[in-house]
Amino acid sequence: MLNDLQYWLSGFYPYMWIGSFAGVLLLDAPRYVVSKIALVLVDVFTLHFTKHTRPQPYYPSVCAVISCLNESETIFQTLSSIYNSYPKLQIIVVDDGSTDDTYELANSFAQVHPDVLVIRRPVRGGKSSAINLALNYAEAEVILTLDSDSRFGPGAIFRIVQPLRDPRVGAVSGSILVENASASLCTWFQAYEYLNSILVGRIFSSRIGILSIASGAFAAFRREATDAGYGWDAGPGEDADITIRIRKSGWKVVFEPTAECFTNAPTRFRQLFKQRMRWDRSLVRYNIRKHRDISHLFAHHFRLSSFLHWADVIFFNVICTIGLWAYAVTFIVLAEWRTLEFVLLLVVGTYMALGFVQSLVIMYFSQKISRDAIACWVFPFYMFYALFLRAIRSIAVIDELLNRSSFKDNYVPKYVRDSTIHW
Amino acid sequence: MSSRTASLVLIDSSEIGDGAPARALKSLLKLARISERRGKVADNSRIIVRGLELLLKQREPAFSGFPLRPSLRNFHFRYPIEVSILDKFVAHGILAREAFDKVLLCPECHAVPTVRPGCPNCGSPSLHRDELIHHFSCGHVAQVDHFMQPDGSLRCRKCQKTNLIINADYDVTSGMCRCAECNWVGGYPKLVGRCSVCSLSFLVVEAHQQDLWEYCAK
Written as one string, the DSSP assignment of chain B is --HHHHHHHHT-HHHHHTT-HHHHHHHHHHHHHHHHHTT-HHHHHHHHHHHHHHHHHHH-TT---SSB--EEETTEEE-SS-HHHHHHHHHTTSEEEEEEEEEEE-TTT-PPEEEEEE-TTT--S-EEEEEEEEETTT--EEEHHHHB-TTS-BB-TTT--BS--BTTTEEEEEEEEEETTT--EESS-EEEEEETTT--EEEGGGSEEEEEEEEEE-
Spatial contact of A212 and A253, defined as CB atoms under 8 Å apart: yes
Radius of gyration of chain B (CA): 31
Spatial contact of A133 and A67, defined as CB atoms under 8 Å apart: no
What is the distance in angstroms between the Cα of B178 and the nearest Cα belonging to chain A? 10
User: Looking at beta carbons, which residues of chain A come within 8 Å of B136?
Assistant: 234, 415-416, 418-420
pLDDT exceeds 80 at position A4: no
Write out residues 96-115 of A within 8 Å (CB-CB) of B.
107, 110
Three-point CA angle B140, B142, B146, nearest 5° = 110
Q: Who among A136, A418, A419 is closest to B142 (CB)?
A: A136
Q: What is the mean pLDDT of residues A239-262?
A: 93
Give the integer Cα–Cα distance in Å for A283 and A264: 23
For residue A194, the model assigns a pLDDT of: 94
Chain B residue set in contact with A, beta carbons under 8 Å: 130, 132, 134, 136-143, 157-158, 168-169, 171, 173, 175-176, 185-187
Phi, psi of A180 (to 5 degrees): -100, 50
Q: Who among A110, A126, A133 is closest to B187 (CB)?
A: A110
Amino acid at the residue A55:
P
Amino acid at the residue B19:
G
Q: Mean pLDDT over all residues of chain A?
A: 88
- CA B85, chain centre distance (Å): 23
For residue A13, the model assigns a pLDDT of: 66
Q: Which helix (H) or strand (E) holds A337?
A: helix A337-365
Spatial contact of B3 and B44, defined as CB atoms under 8 Å apart: yes
User: Looking at beta carbons, which residues of chain A come within 8 Å of B169?
Assistant: 419
For residue A187, the model assigns a pLDDT of: 94
For residue A8, the model assigns a pLDDT of: 65
User: Looking at beta carbons, which residues of chain A come within 8 Å of B158?
Assistant: 229-231
Among candidate residues A60, A72, A134, A141, the one with its CA nearest the CA of residue A107? A72
Structure confidence by residue, pLDDT tens digits, A186-222: 999 999 999 999 999 999 999 999 998 999 999 999 9
Interchain contact A219–B (C-beta under 8 A): no
| Residue of chain B nearest A127, judged by CA positions | B139
Residue A173 pLDDT grade (very low, low, confident, very high; cuts 50, 70, 90): very high
Spatial contact of A351 and A343, defined as CB atoms under 8 Å apart: no
Dihedral sign of CA atoms A118, A119, A124, A128 in order: negative
Q: Taking CB atoms and an 8 Å limit, are B138 and A233 in contact across chains?
A: yes
Q: Taking CB atoms and an 8 Å limit, are B134 and A421 in contact across chains?
A: no
Cβ contacts of residue B47 below 8 Å, gap of 6+? B3, B4, B7, B8, B11
For residue A30, the model assigns a pLDDT of: 81
pLDDT exceeds 70 at position A341: yes
Interchain contact A125–B (C-beta under 8 A): yes
N-to-C CA span, chain A: 58
Q: pLDDT 10s digit of each residue in chain B, 218 long?
A: 334 334 444 444 444 445 567 777 778 888 888 877 777 766 677 888 888 888 888 777 778 888 888 877 788 888 888 888 888 888 888 889 999 899 999 999 999 999 999 998 888 888 999 999 999 989 999 999 999 999 989 999 998 999 888 888 999 998 899 999 998 888 888 899 999 888 899 999 999 999 999 998 87
Q: Mutate which of B131, B135, B140 to test chain A, going by most A C-beta atoms within 10 A?
A: B140
Among candidate residues B194, B130, B139, the one with its CA nearest the CA of residue B161? B139
pLDDT exceeds 90 at position A345: no
User: Looking at beta carbons, which residues of chain A come within 8 Å of B175?
Assistant: 119, 133, 136-137
Among candidate residues A204, A209, A207, A199, the one with its CA nearest the CA of residue A365? A199
| Residue of chain A nearest B190, judged by CA positions | A111
Residue A310 pLDDT grade (very low, low, confident, very high; cuts 50, 70, 90): very high
Interchain contact A228–B (C-beta under 8 A): no
Q: Mutate which of A94, A124, A129, A139 to test chain B, going by most B C-beta atoms within 10 A?
A: A129
For residue B20, the model assigns a pLDDT of: 64
Residue A17 pLDDT grade (very low, low, confident, very high; cuts 50, 70, 90): low
Q: Who among B169, B173, B186 is closest to A419 (CB)?
A: B169
User: Looking at beta carbons, which residues of chain A come within 8 Å of B142?
Assistant: 132, 136
Q: Taking CB atoms and an 8 Å limit, are B138 and A234 in contact across chains?
A: yes
Q: Which residue has the higher pLDDT, A5 or A33?
A: A33
Among candidate residues A197, A119, A213, the one with its CA nearest the CA of residue A361? A197
Q: What is the mean pLDDT of residues A21-28?
A: 75
Inter-chain contacts counted by CB atoms under 8 A, chains A and B = 73
For residue A9, the model assigns a pLDDT of: 65
> What are the respective helix, strand and coil percentages of chain A, to the nearest 5?
60, 15, 30
Q: Taking CB atoms and an 8 Å limit, are B185 and A123 in contact across chains?
A: no
User: Looking at beta carbons, which residues of chain B come within 8 Å of A418?
Assistant: 136
Give the integer Cα–Cα distance in Å for A95 and A104: 10
Spatial contact of A203 and A39, defined as CB atoms under 8 Å apart: yes
Q: Taking CB atoms and an 8 Å limit, are A231 and B173 in contact across chains?
A: no
| Residue of chain B nearest A420, judged by CA positions | B137
Cβ contacts of residue A53 below 8 Å, gap of 6+? none
Neighbours of A105 (CB within 10 A): 23
Interchain contact A136–B (C-beta under 8 A): yes
Omega prior to A114 cis, within 30 of 0: no
| Residue of chain B nearest A407, judged by CA positions | B137
- Bridge partners, residue B210, by sequence: B103
Helix axes A320-334, A382-403, angle to 10 degrees: 120
Percent of chain A residues past pLDDT 90, beyond the cut: 51
Instruction: Report in angstroms the alpha-carbon separations of A321 from A280, A344, A349, A358.
Output: 11, 19, 21, 20
Give the integer Cα–Cα distance in Å for A243 and A306: 11
Q: What is the mean pLDDT of residues A365-375?
A: 90
| Residue of chain B nearest A232, judged by CA positions | B139
| Strand A62-68 relative to strand A142-146, pairing | parallel
Q: Taking CB atoms and an 8 Å limit, are B136 and A234 in contact across chains?
A: yes
For residue B77, the model assigns a pLDDT of: 87
Spatial contact of A423 and A290, defined as CB atoms under 8 Å apart: yes
User: Looking at beta carbons, which residues of chain B come within 8 Å of A123?
Assistant: 171, 173
Dihedral sign of CA atoms B9, B12, B18, B19 in order: positive
Residue B110: is it exposed, middle or buried by C-beta count within 10 angstroms (0-12/13-18/19+)? middle
pLDDT exceeds 90 at position A170: yes
Cβ contacts of residue A351 below 8 Å, gap of 6+? A24, A28, A383
pTM (predicted TM-score): 0.81
Q: Mutate which of B136, B156, B170 to test chain A, going by most A C-beta atoms within 10 A?
A: B136
Percent of chain A residues past pLDDT 70, beyond the cut: 95
For residue A192, the model assigns a pLDDT of: 94
Among candidate residues A349, A387, A342, A246, the one with its CA nearest the CA of residue A8? A342
Give, as one character, the DSSP assignment of residue A33: I
- H, E, C per residue of A177-200: EECCCCCCHHHHHHHHHHHHHHHH
For residue A1, the model assigns a pLDDT of: 63
| Strand B208-217 relative to strand B190-195, pairing | unpaired
| Residue of chain A nearest B158, judged by CA positions | A230
